[in-house]
Structure 1
């Protein structure tokens, strides 16, 4: 969410049409039509990516490689990175991993001047696989550059207090993170945790528990104190996430983008790094970090806050930003930071848009949280009036409409006519069913 929205804004120069493809090229669907339309209707295929050089993403990466190999337009990958256990030697990587990463990278470089990677570790991986330095650019994560170079990180308070507001991010699979969360949410009652996985959103929206909860101390179920006390916040839009982080005194935890959201808001943040991905991004961008394995699992937020060097962050930003825009230009991508390419209309439209705020749990006790619960009940209930207006199943195609097709107004008129036909048919069916049930209430299983 953070890096996609950032790339979208940066490439939205006047007169450009930027179309999101809803990840369709990564999914196991029949791609022939989409590939043909991509070649015919678009000038470039841009992939803002994340920790995609990882074992669990290999099937998606292989599908993307097959797609790119059939594209005849330039392809640009912005910010791809490796995710491996910290200290992994490349010689120990499985053959399948090396084969798929190589295939994807080669397909991209056959259609671009260079590939943008997240950090030095990923660059060394690609060099090990045979890709030269001239084709691999270390650019960090594009989420850091959506609005230009960032300013310094300034401590908002000299020392964290008992009631300091703070945001804690966590990765459930990291050993000891349950103790980190438990200890600091107990010490600081105004702290909240910020989950980032879609099934945590289901937990908060609907109380949907996982099938198994192997560790009851983890805040992943409805009986956890943090759920019951509504001390969880989930964000479904980048702007509201950053706005919330601006209200915090401190942010820390094991999720890299949980802390990126913090620094985007100018809030002092510390990454508790636990793999190659979190280390290389923190190092490249100058975000303060500590190796979590070298700290007590329940390390106090105050210790992290007072020991962190936030002064090194600001001076790093101009250099990394300049590297990023030079990468875009090296790949012939126009961007809003070029003279005459600014797009204030985009920012004005974004500022005027209404976005949902932080998602609360079902246990929310304040007015905002209770209104959210009410809206979820209305969505479930729908009702006759709501059913006519609901936006829940509105469909936006993953691509713009093919050229030469009917206009939006023509399609709306046709759909309205079809709707009237279906409504009449439904009314007729209801009438007939009502007569059957009234006349033959006991006809099922017996003689009429």
Structure 2
């Protein structure tokens, strides 16, 4: 039998085809089940690669003759057996579940095989143990690395198939991946029990079998963000786990939805208190204040609502974006231009003194604010509206930047006082 008959292909110099044939035949002649066939296959594979590179004449693989036995012939001695398949599987189970005692038992058995067994029996020990580990649920990468270090498997090397065959390596990797997925799911269950209120609700919804999303999901501030965070973490690292999650919830999170958020509630209270303070000032006209309130509500809430409602009507959406663009240009001019004018007229004629310094500082802050609020990488038609939205949501962004620490409340109060003073000076110009 020549090498091509062993590989099951026609003579060729294509190494890729030779490798594919070798991998295909390896499924039948596994080293842990058919060591003789595996040895012939390996020799044929090496010879085929050598012939493909050097053009040597085909090499004949001699098949060892099978001994003929009869009743009159003496029975040949069998190789010494150091363990049974059941004992090897029990050792693998012990390693996975009680690692320390399993390591001791493994070292004891390996010492016996290494001192009394042949090279073939030693090779079979590695393969049998690896195959048994691949069948154990809960196999971890840490345990595998420790076993590999003790038995010098070299799993961190590029190719260690001379010790552990490729099919067994593939099965081990599948088992390790299964362990990681099960651990992630168990961690998710732990958060359902010991997590925060939002985390518990998010996990229960993702694990539920509901065919629709309950209405209270939109009314619970922060719940949608918790849902998205949980789902993104799981599906980005463990895509296989997406099949266990509620499909209705996944579909709900992929679409833009109107929900209550802590940001929206905080900004509503912040600007509500600010305009309430402005209404108490005698120099501020009520009609001007009401107009300012409408502008704030539009950029914080109504703009997104209208764009979401018109998302399925491109023509109406285009008209709305144009109107918003023109309106935003006017609002920006009135806002920054009015504050700039107020800062300039506050400078005394001499150009010196504390008031002049404060006015110059205010002009510098206005320039920095406009530069920081300018959006990057968005269409020009959206830029003015985004600028105003960022300026009006800056109180929340400031606290978010401070990670909602206790001192962020102090800064929020100071920022509130500054906003009231600035708005009062601005609105007085339109009296």
TM-score greater than 0.5 by the shorter chain = no
Q: Which has the higher contact order (CA 8 A, sep 6+)?
A: 1
Could you say which TM-score interval applies, normalised by the shorter chain?
A: under 0.3
Larger Rg belongs to: 2
TM-score (normalised: structure 2) = 0.20
More strand by share: 1
